[in-house]
Amino acid sequence: MRPTPSSHRSGGSDAPDPPLVVLLDDQRAGDPALTGAKAAALATAARAGLPVLPGFVLTTAAVERLARGQPWPSALQDAWRDVSADGTRPLVVRSSSTVEDLGESSMAGRFESVVGVRGAEEFRRAVDVVIASREQAAAGSAAVTGREPLAVLVQPLLSAECGGVLFGIDPVSGREDRLVVAAVTGGPDRLVSGEVDGSRYEIRPDGRRTSVTNGDGGARLSGRRLRELAQLAARTATIFGGPQDVEWGYGDDGRLRLLQSRPVTAEPRGRPTGPVLGPGPVAETFPEPLQPLEVDLWVDPLREALGRALVLAGTATASAVDASPLVPVLDGRVAVDLDLLEPRHGSPGLRERLDPRPRLRRLHASWRVGRLRSALPALARDVVDAADAALVDVPALADLDDRQLVALLHRLRPALVSVHAHELLVGLLVDPQAPRTTGATTALRVLANARRAGLADAEIIAEHPVVLALAAPQVGPAPTLPPGVRAPEAGPPGDETEPGVLREALRLRARWLQEAGARAAWVLAERLAAAGRLPRPEDLRGVGLAQLTAAVDDDAATLTSRPVVPGEPLPARFRMSDTGHPVPVAGGAGATGAGGGTGTGPVHQGEDPPEGSVLVVRNLDPGLAPLLPRLAGLIAETGSVLAHLAILARESGVPTVVGLPDALEKFPPGTVVRVDGATGEVEQQEAP
């Protein structure tokens, strides 16, 4: 018997009471206010011709009546008899709340489902359990109050040969050129409950398999079934207007059934294209997001210097450099082209074996670098001297007019290009394991001693500019120096002709040139704000250098600040998608030991690590230097053994590992790990 809506009217209203029971193929079942999001999605899918099992819904109105202690509606008993074949066919009784299966939150696992329900009494108990789970969901989530409308979805239990979950995009990275399928033998409830891991398939939108990982209880899927699942993903995405998280099952008859469809909560990020990018090599220089003026002042010179250095060293062709973004900026976050910077691994293909040009290019590069090796130390010292002379020649900023300040900003850019380019080239000659004193080491020692002598930070910066190695560049009133520093032990002084020492000298000059630009820009910012041409001095950060130049040349020109809203921290390795999003990718050279011996301790993420902890970070930020003495180890997802912080950690005897992908995810806070700074290994230990 098919249930019919009640025709009872109350309170003198002409509108009929809402139905208490509706079948899934009833058009009214597609109303989520009546049947909840889960059932409404299945009803929509069924009307679109997708393979949905029949069933019925105890509506939100009926659940409210039952919650108030009113009797069961007779239509419910009739619907149960039809779907269960008078109690002989097992059922699945599931929640269908109005706050479940939404795009912003799936609320997966918050509400109850009862599988394998037989008989009238068991069915009544199952309905009571599902309704009661509304209060349980409220106890476990701030997003649920326990008063949200709830419906109950009832369907036959699929006797499944295999089943699982299908994601219309990669649920972790959001990339849309990859579908992910998890499959188990039997029904998908074994997978979603966590009972088994299942097998994980990555497939293309056409269903072709790209990888498979076999897991506990996993099911083997043929190429035909993978293609059917890919087609199901495409159809659900079309019907619901976006990629879906689909529960599916193959019955004993070999037919595919759609058991549930809800939006994937991961943000769709498009299809990745172009080179592999990452923040690692520049995160130390620019640990914080930049604004447009800072990008013009500092990133553009670095981009030009990197291109020149790569071509001069023979590690990249001019055409490859021209085609590369080199140093892109995404919502203020700076990255570099890792494809150009990182060595490629693996044996050459047939084409490379037959083509002599790559080998000739490497031979030419070796000859060129050999000549550079002998010439670079003298060239680098000349660049250091020239940078020092240029900085000494800068007049007092207060004595310069606005046009002279802008001219100074423009003159500092080619100086930065020269210093950066020589720093990059000298870096090719540096022995990563050679002991030496870094700029950060000296800066920490100077800062600690000056504070003990009672100097204020402004006085310390003026008298000892080496401390700027501890502060990231920013257009602002004054650099922020780290608090609570300890003076590290003195390292070996090093020969001034040694490449590592020269590289540190060039790094420090680059930082001084950046600071000169930051101070000049801030003086301009204060003047423009005082003249009413900017609301606040800090708004100048959102003005590009070209616009600033035009405004200073023309007093009538309007200054418009367009500050960038900083984006999320960038993945360690990613490619840009066709929709402009960073999509994480695997690979890379892998974890590298940066020295410091071995150490064991509990993982800490974030600020203020306790004594004896292992700090896990995304990037090697020089601002972390004061924390090193209290650490038992340091792990970074990105970075190089030549980074300031890695060198300083090694000198301080802190075991350090850099370039460990997904370290923040692999080692949550409290996990006890052993860090080997020699081998780059990080091993999880049993908690004491």
Phi–psi pair at 641, nearest 5 degrees: -65, -15
Q: Give the other-Cβ count within 10 Å of 347's Cβ.
A: 6
Torsions phi, psi for 113 (to 5 deg): -130, 145
Tell whether the model's pLDDT for residue 195 goes beyond 80: no
Nearest to residue 555, comparing CAs of 523, 532, 522? 532
pLDDT band at 298 (very low <50, low <70, confident <90, very high): very high
Residue 496, pLDDT above cutoff 90: no
| Cβ-contact 224, 255 below 8 angstroms | no
Residue 10 has pLDDT above 70, yes or no: no
> Quick one: CA torsion of 16, 18, 22, 26, rounded to 10 degrees?
60
Residue 12 clears pLDDT 80, i.e. is over it? no
Q: Kindly report the number of other CB atoms within 10 A of residue 23's CB atom.
A: 18
Residue 302's pLDDT is what? Answer: 95
C-beta atoms surrounding 355 within 10 Å: 12
For residue 507, the surrounding DSSP H or E stretch is helix 499-530
Q: Is 78 exposed, middle or buried (0-12, 13-18, 19+ CB in 10 A)?
A: middle
Beta-carbon neighbour count of residue 665 at 10 Å?
A: 10
- Phi and psi of 330, rounded to 5°? -120, 110
Q: What is the pLDDT of residues 618-638, one digit of tens each?
A: 887 777 778 888 899 999 887
User: Per the structure block, which two tokens stand in for 665?
Assistant: 């995810």
**For residue 188, which amino acid is it?**
P
Nearest to 305, CA basis, from 430, 414, 427: 414
CB 110 within 8 A of CB 141: yes
For residue 625, which amino acid is it? A
Output 621 or 241, whichever has higher pLDDT. 241
Q: Which residues pair with 331 in a beta bridge?
A: none
648, pLDDT greater than 70: yes
Highest mean pLDDT among 326-330, 445-449, 652-656: 326-330
Mean pLDDT of the chain: 84
CB 22 within 8 A of CB 153: no
**HEC assignment per residue over 437-451:** CCHHHHHHHHHHHHH
Between CA 53 and CA 46 the distance in angstroms is 8
Question: Which SS3 state, helix, strand or coil, does residue 100 take?
Answer: coil
| Of the candidate ranges 77-91, 333-347, 354-368, 499-513, the one whose mean pLDDT is the lowest | 354-368
How far is the C-alpha of 453 from the C-alpha of 446, rounded, in Å?
Answer: 11
Look at residues 665, 577, 662 and name the one whose alpha carbon lies nearest to residue 169: 577
pLDDT above 70: residue 392: yes
Q: In 547-654, which ranges are E strands? A: 574-577, 582-584, 592-595, 598-604, 613-617, 631-636
- Answer with the residue of higher pLDDT: 499 or 390: 390
Dist. CA 584–CA 579, nearest whole Å? 14
Report d(CA 608, CA 604) in Å as an integer. Answer: 9
Q: Classify 21-156 by CATH class.
A: alpha beta
At residue 601, the 3 state secondary structure works out as: strand
Percent of the chain at pLDDT above 90?
A: 49
Q: What is the mean pLDDT of residues 68-75?
A: 86
pLDDT per residue as tens digits for the range 132-148: 887 765 554 444 555 77
CATH fold of 160-263: D-amino Acid Aminotransferase; Chain A, domain 1 (3.30.470)
Apex CA 311: angle with CA 309 and CA 313, to 5°?
65
Would you say the CATH fold of 590-684 matches that of 160-263? no
In what helix (H) or strand (E) does residue 150 lie, and over which residues does it extend?
A: strand 150-156
* CB distance 641 to 661 below 8 Å: no
From residue 515, give the alpha-carbon distance in Å to each of 466, 527, 543.
Answer: 12, 19, 18
Residue 243 structure tokens: 């990629």
Q: Is the pLDDT of residue 389 over 70?
A: yes
Q: Which of 189-198, 246-255, 385-394, 441-450 is least confident? A: 189-198
How far apart are the C-alpha atoms of 516 and 513, rounded to whole Å? 5
pLDDT of 569: 84
Residue 101: pLDDT above 90? no
| CATH architecture group of domain 590-684 | 3-Layer(bba) Sandwich (3.50)
CA distances, 359 to each of 143, 213, 304, 352, 362 (Å) = 61, 38, 27, 9, 5
Higher pLDDT, 110 or 530: 530
Q: Given the structure tokens 């309704």, which residue do they identify?
A: 131
Cβ burial 505-519 (10 Å sphere, 16+ → b, else e): bbbbbbbbbbbbbbb
Burial class of 597 by CB neighbour count within 10 A (0 to 12, 13 to 18, 19+)? middle
Contacts for 23 with CB less than 8 Å, ≥ 6 apart: 2, 3, 29, 54, 55, 56, 57, 79
Amino acid at 684: Q
Residue type, 495: D
Q: What are the CB-based long-range contacts (under 8 Å, 24+) for 366-370?
A: 366/314, 368/312, 368/313, 368/314, 369/313, 369/314, 369/428
- Identify the DSSP state of 398: G
pLDDT category at 75 given cuts 50, 70, 90 is confident
Question: Which residues 6+ apart lie within 8 Å of 623 measured at CB?
Answer: 287, 470, 471, 472, 482
Contact, 614 vs 596, CB < 8 A? no
For residues 301 and 420, is the Cβ–Cβ distance under 8 A? yes
pLDDT value at residue 1? 39
Interatomic CA distance for residues 37 and 111, integer angstroms = 13
Q: How far is CA 244 from the centre of its chain?
A: 21
pLDDT at residue 364 greater than cutoff 80: no
Number of residues written out for the chain:
688
Question: For residue range 565-583, what is the model confidence (pLDDT) as tens digits?
Answer: 998 888 888 888 877 888 8
Pairwise pLDDT comparison (433 vs 456), residue with the higher score = 456
| Structural domain spans, the chain | 21-156, 160-263, 278-436+492-553, 590-684
* Structure tokens belonging to residue 436: 């030496």
Q: How far apart are CA 624 and CA 221, in angstroms?
A: 49
